[in-house]
Amino acid sequence: MIREAIVGAITGSLAAPRTLLLGRYDDEGRFQYVGRTTTLARAAGAAVAGLLAAGRGGHPWTGWSFSAGWGSQETLNVTLVEPDLVVEVGVDVARDASGRWRHPARWHRARPDLSPTDIPTF
């Protein structure tokens, strides 16, 4: 199933993102983590790199840590980005108790034609 989400952080660098950490706003306006993508192909990373901007002060995920995998204690080294890029991803229906996507999402495409306010709430 194809869904839209907002990129809030990445692994890798701004010039060569490896995975995207995705979020959606909830009904109270908080930016909530919903999942991350599988490793991006080099072409996909290059396509999205030019659409990302480094996170500024006051990013909603400042101080958060993200696990490297389901049930893992290892944390990811992430770079926060401005949460203004919408992407389409393929996800399955499995969700954890918090409503997050349990399995990594598959990258489809960037949607610079959409705004984060166009995305359904979490």
CA separation for the pair 84, 7 (Å, rounded): 7
Is residue 109 within 8 A of residue 19, CB to CB? The reply is: no
Confidence (pLDDT) at 99? 66
Helical segments of the chain, H only: 42-49
3-55: pLDDT as tens digits: 899 999 999 999 999 999 999 999 999 999 998 999 999 999 999 999 999 99
CATH of the domain at 72: 2.40.50.140
**What contacts 25, CB < 8 A, 6 or more positions away?**
6, 31, 32, 116, 119, 121, 122
In terms of residue numbers, what domain contains 48? Answer: 2-118
**Predicted model pTM:** 0.88
How many domains are there within the chain? Answer: 1
Q: For residue 95, count other CB atoms closer than 10 A to its CB.
A: 14
**Alpha-carbon gap, residue 89 to 5, rounded angstroms:** 7
Rounded CA separation 6/36 (Å)? 10
**How far apart are the C-alpha atoms of 49 and 30, rounded to whole Å?**
25
| pLDDT above 80: residue 103 | no
122 touches 116 (CB < 8 A):
no
Reported as a single tens digit per residue, the pLDDT across 71-96 is: 666 788 899 999 999 999 988 776 66
Cα–Cα distance between 61 and 55 in angstroms, integer? Answer: 10
